[in-house]
Chain A
């Protein structure tokens, strides 16, 4: 009962105005309305909203990172003021951010116990520390040697270490910001059942997700945020279409508005592309007006193939031909000269210069063309940037705003925009909508439509199966570095794709 109370109180934080924070996030004109207070008597609450709707700001208020301008946060019925993250911690509020707060060079046990290692005269009692950590790790179903360095764990297990750390701090309220974004389907299943267990143990959970199906499976109630305002709170069983409508504030005609047209000549031809240990004998074509998908399990080699085709990574054998120009060596400049562009899978690590302006990022690919004798034509670059901001409808306070401050969807539009300005013949997309909200997803799909309608081609890798099926005209299924099957979009169902992706794995295991 106590946690339920705590949770109920906590949710009154939803009545916060988050104007000043939203300003920092570059959506000043949007997030100024007053959200209504929200209550619930159930213990797994989902926050749903587009990127830039104010979810992260709200969570940061609850974690003590930001202070609200107005409104009260109540825990156990008492109003509290959270000046620092330590204040929130004392009240048992723990937050698991998308970027983990782990020291990857240290062991799992040291991370779980960080700052609270049992010690005598400053010397850490390792045996005791490892034992305590093991017990905590068992609670989240992580059975491994606590001396294992965190760096040797995958994303899913690092996340469990984070949760264990939170539990060892006696967290009663656990806030998770898109915990499933970087996980595979299996890992998501495991995480959701852990969340179920935690709820049964009396831990209140606040969960942010873009995946509507997960919400249905795990959530009790959903509060929808839009433009810094809480729109409404509905049961998690609400129809998907209705949730989307509430979130976007308008109905989206179709989640996947693919416009299919005439397919023309071959633009990209890949023959016998191989790299030892990564992919083997990859051959396929992309034709004008066509979107070709690369599907498969994580680790099947999709990203590796895309990067090699683009020229970012070397390959041992094979040729890549674009519009009659062949190449059998790597080199990004060669790929670009052929008419290729790549939107990489991790926009923060590989796609953007986060500390630079929107305009600088948009101009990055065109920088060389816009220079004469080594001197940059700044007027031309500014024009290009303005054009891209308008045509891609990038929501930014100005062209000079720092890209770091834009929401995920707008950041991704900047990465796409820098390539669209270069007008590639074939655009390679790696996870183009990862961590992007529903509204921005549709805008990205429309950009893909624009490309194919103007006679270009698109090659796209994605872990999001409904997206691959909804957008691609042809799907190449990869498993263990090989293409194991091809489906037209009429043939493609989630089951058909998965059957191909898994089948090969089992047959190779049998050998």
Chain B
């Protein structure tokens, strides 16, 4: 039996495998080429950095969402938790006068804790993930409004770093996105937790009977998603230089879209960090390109909806013909 053949595949085959995983990478390239032809501004360094910056918040949320979706769950609370975490940071620093680094850690801890609560509701309360995280979506947004009284909260100057530009060209959001992307890929591929995500998403019963503590792993998975949400919230706050209680509203759907465009299955067991990154970039390129072409934001929503459907459709058709 040719067991060795697939293990020592040349890198060209690996690249093909990477590109062939789903249509997302191809779609991104086609989109980029089309935009480059239609708008002379698109390929400028300045604009590409803008695209990266715009993609960053959704991508970071989507990395967390990838963990959840690979394990056959869903996290609707990521946008709310991003806002709540940023408000907690701003409130701690501005209203309570805590040092900036403590405030930032508190913000991240808030996202982590909220994710943990969702995880407890799902693992031990036996709530469907959809319901538990929808409840957390509402609670998170509500707490953000309560804490801020509904008005923007001033952020400590250190938070602005998350939205700044290094050396006059490298946006920090882009940097954080890449670092967290590599971290997400590492978690998914190389860690016990990551392999458990695939096993739980593929067949929860088989995972449990193989000795995986499914309940505990789920707690960690949702806490991780909450933590990624909090970091996304800080990046967003850094760009806006304030904590907006209504920030990142509806971003949970963008995050889910990015993960799905990236080739993950909502049924679980399938998905990659690289795919998710491509998915987030596809969304950002469409938004940026349509802006450059002066297409109204109303039409942008229509286009994005169609792209999501097309992405998943081509993926389904490719798999059928394979």
Question: B203 touching A352 by the CB < 8 A rule?
Answer: yes
Decide: A398 near B2, CB < 8 A? Known: A353-B269, A356-B269: yes
Decide: A353 near B209, CB < 8 A? Known: A364-B199, A374-B193, A400-B6: no
Separation of A354 and B267 alpha carbons in the complex (Å)? 13
Task: Point out which of B7, B194, B199, B203 has the most chain A C-beta atoms below 10 A from its C-beta.
Answer: B203
Is residue B1 contacting chain A, with contact meaning CB distance below 8 A? yes
Question: A376 touching B190 by the CB < 8 A rule?
Answer: yes
Separation of A364 and B213 alpha carbons in the complex (Å)? 12
Decide: A349 near B211, CB < 8 A? Known: A356-B198, A375-B191: no
Give the contacting residue for B211; candidates A336, A356, A397; CB below 8 A: A336
Q: Which of A370-411 contact B (CB under 8 A)?
A: 371, 374-376, 378, 382, 386, 389, 395-400
CB distance from A324 to the nearest CB of B (A): 21
Decide: A355 near B202, CB < 8 A? Known: A332-B208, A368-B211: yes
Q: Which residues of A contact B207 (CB under 8 A)?
A: 353, 364
Is residue A80 contacting chain B, with contact meaning CB distance below 8 A? no
Q: Which residues of B contact A356 (CB under 8 A)?
A: 198-199, 202, 269
Question: A352 touching B195 by the CB < 8 A rule?
Answer: no
Question: B198 touching A360 by the CB < 8 A rule?
Answer: yes
Is residue A365 contacting chain B, with contact meaning CB distance below 8 A? yes
Decide: A367 near B3, CB < 8 A? Known: A353-B206, A353-B269: no
Separation of A389 and B7 alpha carbons in the complex (Å)? 15
Task: Point out which of A351, A353, A355 has the most chain B C-beta atoms below 10 A from its C-beta.
Answer: A353
Q: Which of A196-216 contact B (CB under 8 A)?
A: none
Question: B191 touching A354 by the CB < 8 A rule?
Answer: no
Question: B206 touching A364 by the CB < 8 A rule?
Answer: yes
Give the contacting residue for A398; candidates B1, B194, B205; CB below 8 A: B1
Give the contacting residue for B2; candidates A332, A365, A397; CB below 8 A: A397
Q: Which residues of B contact A371 (CB under 8 A)?
A: 191-192
Separation of A418 and B211 alpha carbons in the complex (Å)? 11
Separation of A344 and B203 alpha carbons in the complex (Å)? 13
Is residue B196 contacting chain A, with contact meaning CB distance below 8 A? yes
Separation of A344 and B211 alpha carbons in the complex (Å)? 13
Separation of A325 and B141 alpha carbons in the complex (Å)? 50
Q: Which residues of B contact A332 (CB under 8 A)?
A: 208-211, 213
* B170-192 vs A, Cβ < 8 Å mask (1 yes, 0 no): 00000000000000000000111
Decide: A367 near B269, CB < 8 A? Known: A332-B208, A332-B209: no
Task: Across the interface, name the chain B residue whose C-beta is closest to A419.
Answer: B210
Decide: A333 near B213, CB < 8 A? Known: A351-B206, A367-B192, A374-B191: yes
Q: Which residues of B contact A400 (CB under 8 A)?
A: 6-7
Task: Across the interface, name the chain A residue whose C-beta is closest to B214.
Answer: A332
Question: B209 touching A351 by the CB < 8 A rule?
Answer: yes
Q: Which of B187-240 contact A (CB under 8 A)?
A: 190-196, 198-199, 202-203, 205-213
Separation of A355 and B196 alpha carbons in the complex (Å)? 14
Number of interface residues of A (CB under 8 A): 35
Q: Which residues of A contact B190 (CB under 8 A)?
A: 375-376, 378
Question: A399 touching B3 by the CB < 8 A rule?
Answer: yes
Is residue B154 contacting chain A, with contact meaning CB distance below 8 A? no
CB distance from A495 to the nearest CB of B (A): 35
Question: B203 touching A354 by the CB < 8 A rule?
Answer: yes
Q: Which residues of B contact A386 (CB under 8 A)?
A: 3
Q: Which of A340-360 contact B (CB under 8 A)?
A: 342, 344, 349-356, 360
Task: Point out which of A342, A355, A378, A400 has the most chain B C-beta atoms below 10 A from its C-beta.
Answer: A355
Decide: A364 near B208, CB < 8 A? Known: A354-B202, A376-B192, A396-B1: no
Separation of A312 and B203 alpha carbons in the complex (Å)? 15
Is residue B5 contacting chain A, with contact meaning CB distance below 8 A? yes
Question: B269 touching A312 by the CB < 8 A rule?
Answer: no
Separation of A209 and B271 alpha carbons in the complex (Å)? 38
Q: Which residues of A contact B206 (CB under 8 A)?
A: 349-353, 364
Separation of A104 and B169 alpha carbons in the complex (Å)? 60
Task: Point out which of B1, B2, B193, B202 has the most chain A C-beta atoms below 10 A from its C-beta.
Answer: B1
Q: Which residues of A contact B210 (CB under 8 A)?
A: 332, 364-365, 367, 418
Q: Which of B49-103 contact A (CB under 8 A)?
A: none
Task: Across the interface, name the chain B residue whose C-beta is closest to A352.
Answer: B206
Decide: A389 near B3, CB < 8 A? Known: A355-B270, A375-B190: yes
Question: A398 touching B5 by the CB < 8 A rule?
Answer: yes
Task: Point out which of A336, A344, A349, A364 has the most chain B C-beta atoms below 10 A from its C-beta.
Answer: A364
Task: Across the interface, name the chain A residue whose C-beta is closest to B205.
Answer: A350
* A165-189 vs B, Cβ < 8 Å mask (1 yes, 0 no): 0000000000000000000000000
* B258-285 vs A, Cβ < 8 Å mask (1 yes, 0 no): 0000000000011000000000000000
Q: Which of B122-143 contact A (CB under 8 A)?
A: none
Q: Which residues of B contact A333 (CB under 8 A)?
A: 211, 213
Q: Which of A263-321 contact B (CB under 8 A)?
A: 310, 312
Separation of A397 and B7 alpha carbons in the complex (Å)? 12
List residues of chain B with CB under 8 Å of any chain A CB: 1-3, 5-7, 190-196, 198-199, 202-203, 205-213, 269-270
Given contacts A367-B210, A368-B211, A418-B210, 14 further A-B contacts (CB under 8 A): A332-B209, A333-B211, A344-B209, A350-B205, A351-B209, A353-B198, A353-B206, A353-B207, A355-B202, A360-B195, A360-B199, A368-B192, A375-B192, A376-B191
- 24 intermolecular pairs with C-beta atoms under 8 Å apart: A312-B209, A332-B208, A332-B210, A349-B205, A351-B209, A352-B206, A353-B203, A353-B269, A354-B203, A355-B202, A356-B202, A364-B206, A367-B192, A367-B210, A368-B192, A371-B191, A374-B191, A375-B191, A376-B191, A386-B3, A397-B2, A399-B3, A399-B7, A400-B7
What 5 A-B pairs come out closest when comparing CB atoms? A353-B202, A371-B192, A364-B210, A336-B211, A353-B203
